[in-house]
């Protein structure tokens, strides 16, 4: 495994850092308080090429492999303090675009991918339901075939980008008696008759990433908008999860690196009892722990992406990534607050927001308890 970068990629990563630092951080404290999604930031990221990083050039993307893409997103997370915007980009990329890349027909790709890759279209995913949670395959949303159409009825909750989405990848039961094998995926244009965004959901963290609950009441979807074969929803969802779980926290690795550097500077500059606080063993120990987490998380992230780029199975590695990086991110934020003391608790220092943003990573893309169950099962226990 060679994780060294070509000159072209090195220049791209440096350009992403300059772009994000200059264009994406203004007013983040105020936008977080308001729970305001940055459409301007989204547009700028689209124009820069962030959204289309893993999409083939023929559909308007950059054609990067998984390894190059996660490294680019890591640099975005390092330079962009708007974790909500970055989370929305990740949700758009992994849960809407990549299923289309893998399972879409050529007509579907031509119709949707250029807009998704450029950011002119915003993608979302409808999987979770109010009564199912992590038991995704127990979904109650149905899609009944009627002629050349499907009629959807049901609801989806925790839909990231839901209030602003132009295209949703929605999973529904086409054969409720078949269990997971009766689930199918659909591409639904928003707005569509019979589809209602019922409410915007306020959250503890990643507040600048919009979230909604969506109802389908006899919502008609053309058969041509079915994604993959009927009943292929389980395969589609599993494929999507390998990308999502393994890659969605690439930006968190960048955020952890930024936190580490911030804390090292503070530990050198802050004086107590006649010396820099970094000289105290307990503070130095926290910095060392942060460093270990960052380096371990980065290597796990890159290894998972390398496996995907090699066309190899990465199901367990995806679950391990999601579990380890999310826990490490939360711990790094907690250590950063302790190192900064009372200042770390203040909004203006922007560390308390990092912790609020990080906590959600233990829940989305399958809770960490679910990840442990998956890993244990793959170990044969």
Reduce the secondary structure of the chain to three states and give it as a string. CCCCCCHHHHHHHHHHHHHHHHHCCCCHHHHHHHCCCCHHHHHHHHHHCCCCCCCCHHHCCCCCCHHHHHHHHHHHHHHCCCHHHHHHHHHHHHHHHHHHHHHCCHHHHHHHHHHHHHCCCCEEEECCCCCCCCCHHHCCCEEEEECCEEEEEEEEEEEECHHHCCEEEEEEECCHHHHHHHEEEEEEECCCCCEEEEEECCCCCCCCCCEEEEEEEEEEEEHHHEECCCCCHHHHHHHHHHHHHHHCCHHHHHHHHHHHHHHHHHHHHCEECCEEHHHCHHHHHHHHHHHHHHHHHHHHHHHHHHHHHCCCCCHHHHHHHHHHHHHHHHHHHHHHHHHHHHHHHCHHHCHHHHHHHHHHHHCCCCCHHHHHHHHHHHCCC
Q: Active-site residue numbers?
A: 244
Q: Which domains can be identified in the chain, with CATH numbers?
A: 7-122 (1.10.540.10), 124-231 (2.40.110.10), 236-378 (1.20.140.10)
Low-confidence ranges of the chain (pLDDT < 70): 1, 133
pLDDT at 138: 83
pLDDT at 29: 97
pTM value > 0.85: yes
pLDDT in tens, 283-336: 999 999 999 999 999 999 999 999 999 999 999 999 999 999 999 999 999 999
pLDDT at 109: 98
pLDDT at 1: 67
pLDDT at 35: 96
């Amino acid at each position: 495994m060679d994780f060294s970068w070509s000159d072209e990629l090195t220049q791209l990563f440096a350009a992403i850092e300059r772009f994000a630092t200059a264009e994406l951080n203004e007013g983040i404290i105020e936008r977080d308080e308001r729970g305001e999604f940055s459409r301007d930031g989204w547009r700028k990221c689209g124009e820069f090429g962030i959204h289309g990083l893993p999409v083939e050039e023929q559909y308007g993307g950059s054609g990067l492999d998984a390894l190059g893409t996660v490294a680019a997103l890591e640099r975005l997370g390092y330079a962009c303090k708007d974790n909500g915007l970055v989370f929305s980009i990740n949700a758009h990329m992994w849960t809407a675009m990549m299923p289309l890349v893998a399972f879409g027909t050529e007509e579907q790709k031509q119709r949707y991918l250029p807009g998704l890759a450029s950011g002119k279209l915003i993608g979302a995913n409808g999987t979770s339901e109010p009564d199912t949670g992590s038991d995704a395959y127990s979904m109650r949303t149905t899609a009944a075939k009627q002629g050349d159409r499907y009629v959807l009825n049901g609801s989806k909750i925790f839909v990231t980008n839901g209030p602003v989405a132009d295209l949703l990848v929605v999973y529904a039961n086409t054969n409720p008696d078949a269990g997971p094998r009766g689930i199918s995926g659909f591409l639904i244009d928003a707005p569509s008759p019979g589809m209602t965004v019922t409410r915007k959901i306020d959250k503890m963290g990643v507040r600048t990433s919009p979230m909604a609950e969506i109802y389908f009441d006899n919502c008609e979807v053309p058969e041509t908008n079915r994604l993959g074969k009927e009943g292929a929803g389980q395969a589609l969802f599993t494929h999507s999860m390998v990308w999502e779980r393994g890659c969605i926290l690439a930006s968190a690795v960048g955020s952890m690196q930024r936190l580490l550097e911030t804390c090292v500077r503070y530990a050198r500059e802050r004086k107590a009892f006649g010396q820099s606080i970094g000289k105290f063993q307990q503070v130095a120990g926290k910095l060392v722990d942060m460093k270990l987490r960052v380096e371990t998380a980065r290597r796990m992230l890159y290894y998972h992406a390398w496996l995907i780029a090699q066309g190899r199975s990465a199901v367990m590695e995806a679950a391990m990534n999601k579990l380890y990086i999310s826990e490490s991110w939360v711990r790094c934020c907690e250590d950063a607050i302790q190192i900064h003391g009372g200042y770390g608790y203040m909004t203006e220092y922007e560390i308390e927001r990092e912790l609020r943003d990080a906590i959600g990573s233990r829940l989305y893309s399958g809770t960490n308890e679910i990840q442990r169950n998956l890993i244990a099962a793959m170990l044969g226990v």
